[in-house]
Each structure stands twice: as structure tokens, then as C-alpha cells.
């Protein structure tokens, strides 16, 4: 039997430690390393025709067109937690297994969330720019304290929980909305459950930690922003499409909310975004998950799951388990 072909597209895979790559090679797998490439590259589309597994990141859109161009594909291995770039129903219909790496970047994103909160609250970038421009404005630039303020989390999964734990170190009151409420964690950490509208009204800082879904696309818009306090901040390290940027821009420009910290955008990179012109927003280029620790964790996790898959075991973080069950039934003695 010829070795399985793995087409590697995910740019961050093994950039700090190639041990997971070597483990895949040692298992007899054939690797086509096209990290950072994609469907615009004719060599990539040619490689798709013989790929059994695609290891992808956030750049590759795994849609019906790509799946049709991959006649041998049996699995999609996603480096990271977000699945909005993968058409799960289309993959499932074609009996293509999808698995990913939730939990591997939790601490990195939670850290970055607090970096944005503190940067916005204390106007860190404005202070830095002022000094670099030879201005000494130590009594002019006024920030706000986050000590004992109310933090509202939209999403209380692994990352939301990480942010909640950090917030307790600032003696913050934490409220949250999540349709899949983690009762035990919330009770243990004194987190009050609220609907989104109530959370927006009472929170001094609103931080988004939900996966992108049809239900929450555009959830933060002119109407919901109008519910927030004038002194409140909005933080988004989840997915840019959850926030309508044009509405957020108007709210920030007109000082209807005090500030925002964004790591994700509706269109990436946000080269034409009017948010780039505002002083009351801190922007980072979708780097919340990118720490050396997190990328090592992600690479180890996805490689281990690929090895499980090729050895006949279900990958730990399989998304469409029905595909796995159907496959087992077909191969049952």
C-alpha cells in the first residue's frame, strides 16, 4: 500500500520545532510542504489531486470547490480552533473527516485579550507615540482603572474561561453569555449568567470569545452598540464578522463608546478600514493565538491526531463524528 499523501498548507505548522513534522515522516507518510501557498498557486491545485489529508490553517478556505478538486481527500486537519473557513456540511456529505486543535492556544488568546484591555484602558499606544514624538504629557493622558469593573464575556468556552480567571486577579465582576452554559465553572468562579442585551448594558468591558456562527454574524451592530455604556470598551479576539465594523467605527468616532481593542476584522488585512484613523482603538493583526508556546502546542496536537487517524483511531478533536462512525461500519469485519 502506498503511503498517504499529506498536503501541508498551514503556515505556522512546525515553525519553532519540526519534531511533529519528523514524526509524520517517520510514520511513513508522504508530505508535500506548501506552507503559505493556496489555490492561487497551480502547484498547490495539482497537489490537491493526490492529497489524502490537507493540513490547513486560517488562510485556506475549504469549500465545496476545493473538495471537488481533491478526489482522494479523506480528512481535513485544521491547525487551530476556528472552523469558519471549513464547510463542515460539504465535507461531511463527501465523507471527509474534519478535526482541529481546540485548547492549544487558549492561554495565548486569553493573555492577548488582557493586553488589549489594558492597552485601551491605559492608552498605552497613545502614551508610547507621544513620547516618541518628544511630548511629555504625563498629566494630560488619562486612562481608566479596570480594578473592580464589570467584564462581560460573550462566550464562556475555554478562552472565555481563561479570560474570566485573569479578570478575578483584578477583582472584576464577571458576567457572561453562552448558549452552552458551563454551570460548574460559572458557579465555581462566581460568574453571573446574562442575555446579551443585559450584558451589554451593565458591562464596563465587553469581550467576545464565540466562534462565528450564522446566528452571531453581525451581532455587534448599531443597535447593540447603543446599549453599551458611553465609557465602555469592546474587545474582539474571536472573529471579525461578529462585529459590523462600519457601525463600530461610528460609535467610536462619535464617542458613544469609549474605545475598542481588535485582533480580528471583517476583511483581513483591514487595509481600507476607517478604524485605522481612530485614536481610541488598539488594533493587532490577528496575532492573539501566535505565541511560540501556542504554536508548538498546535503543531504537536494536529500531528498526533493525524497519526491517530492513519493508525485507525479516531482523532481526539473530531468535528463530524458521523463520518468516522460510517467509516468504521464500512470497514467492520
Give residue-wise pLDDT tens across range 103-131. 999 999 999 999 999 999 999 999 999 99
Note the pLDDT of residue 331.
53
Identify whether 239 is a catalytic site residue. yes
Catalytic residue among 100, 112, 239, 317: 239
What is the pLDDT confidence band of residue 270, given thresholds at 50, 70 and 90?
very high
Residue 3 has pLDDT above 90, yes or no: no
Catalytic member of 286, 300, 314, 316: 286
Work out the mean pLDDT of the chain and round it to a whole number. Answer: 95
CB count in 10 Å sphere of residue 199: 22
Q: Beta partners for 258?
A: none
Mean pLDDT of 146-162: 98
Say whether pLDDT at 333 is over 80.
no
Averaged pLDDT, 241-245: 98
Catalytic member of 68, 137, 197, 268? 268
268 noted as active-site residue: yes
Give the whole-number percent of the chain exceeding pLDDT 90.
94
Note the pLDDT of residue 330.
60
Cα dihedral sign, 235-105-37-96: negative
Whether the predicted pLDDT of 319 surpasses 70: yes
Residue 139 confidence (pLDDT): 87
pLDDT at 306 over 90: yes
**Cα–Cα–Cα angle for 322, 326, 330, nearest 5°?**
170
Q: Is the pLDDT of residue 51 over 80?
A: yes
Which of these, 81, 6, 30, lies nearest to 317 by C-alpha position?
81
Structural domains of the chain sorted by starting position, each given as residue range(s) with its CATH number in brackets: 5-104+292-331 (3.40.50.720), 106-283 (3.40.50.720)
Report yes or no: 320 and 34 within 8 Å, Cβ to Cβ: no
Amino acid at each position: 500500500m502506498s503511503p498517504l499523501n499529506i498536503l501541508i498548507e498551514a503556515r505556522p505548522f512546525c515553525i519553532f520545532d519540526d519534531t511533529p513534522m519528523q514524526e509524520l515522516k517517520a510514520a511513513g507518510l508522504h508530505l508535500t510542504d506548501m506552507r503559505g501557498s493556496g489555490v492561487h498557486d497551480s502547484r498547490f491545485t495539482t497537489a490537491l489531486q493526490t492529497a489524502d489529508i490537507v493540513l490547513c490553517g486560517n488562510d485556506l478556505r475549504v469549500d465545496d470547490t476545493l473538495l471537488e478538486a481533491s478526489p482522494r481527500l479523506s480528512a481535513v486537519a485544521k491547525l487551530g480552533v476556528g472552523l469558519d473557513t471549513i464547510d463542515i456540511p460539504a465535507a461531511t456529505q463527501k465523507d471527509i473527516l474534519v478535526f482541529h486543535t481546540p485548547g492549544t492556544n487558549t492561554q495565548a488568546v486569553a493573555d492577548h485579550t488582557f493586553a488589549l484591555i489594558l492597552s485601551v484602558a491605559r492608552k498605552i499606544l497613545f502614551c508610547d507615540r507621544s513620547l516618541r514624538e518628544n511630548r511629555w504629557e504625563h498629566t494630560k493622558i488619562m486612562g481608566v482603572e479596570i480594578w473592580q469593573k464589570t467584564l462581560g464575556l460573550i462566550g464562556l468556552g475555554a478562552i472565555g474561561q481563561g479570560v474570566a480567571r485573569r479578570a478575578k486577579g483584578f477583582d472584576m465582576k464577571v458576567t457572561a453569555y453562552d448558549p452552552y452554559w458551563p454551570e460548574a465553572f460559572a458557579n465555581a468562579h462566581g460568574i453571573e449568567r446574562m442575555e446579551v442585551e443585559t450584558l451589554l448594558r451593565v458591562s464596563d468591558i465587553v469581550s467576545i470569545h464565540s466562534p462565528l456562527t450564522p446566528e452571531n454574524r453581525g451581532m455587534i451592530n448599531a443597535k447593540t452598540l447603543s446599549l453599551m455604556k458611553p465609557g465602555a470598551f469592546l474587545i474582539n479576539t474571536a472573529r471579525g464578522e461578529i462585529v459590523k465594523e462600519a457601525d463600530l467605527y461610528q460609535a467610536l468616532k462619535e464617542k458613544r463608546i469609549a474605545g475598542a481593542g481588535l485582533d480580528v476584522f471583517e476583511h483581513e488585512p483591514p487595509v481600507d478600514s476607517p478604524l485605522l484613523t481612530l485614536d481610541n482603538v488598539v488594533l493587532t493583526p490577528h496575532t492573539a493565538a501566535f505565541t511560540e508556546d501556542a504554536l508548538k502546542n498546535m503543531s504537536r496536537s494536529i500531528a498526533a491526531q493525524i497519526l491517530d487517524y492513519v493508525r485507525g483511531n479516531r482523532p481526539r478533536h473530531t468535528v463530524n463524528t458521523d463520518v468516522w462512525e460510517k467509516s468504521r461500519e464500512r470497514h467492520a469485519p
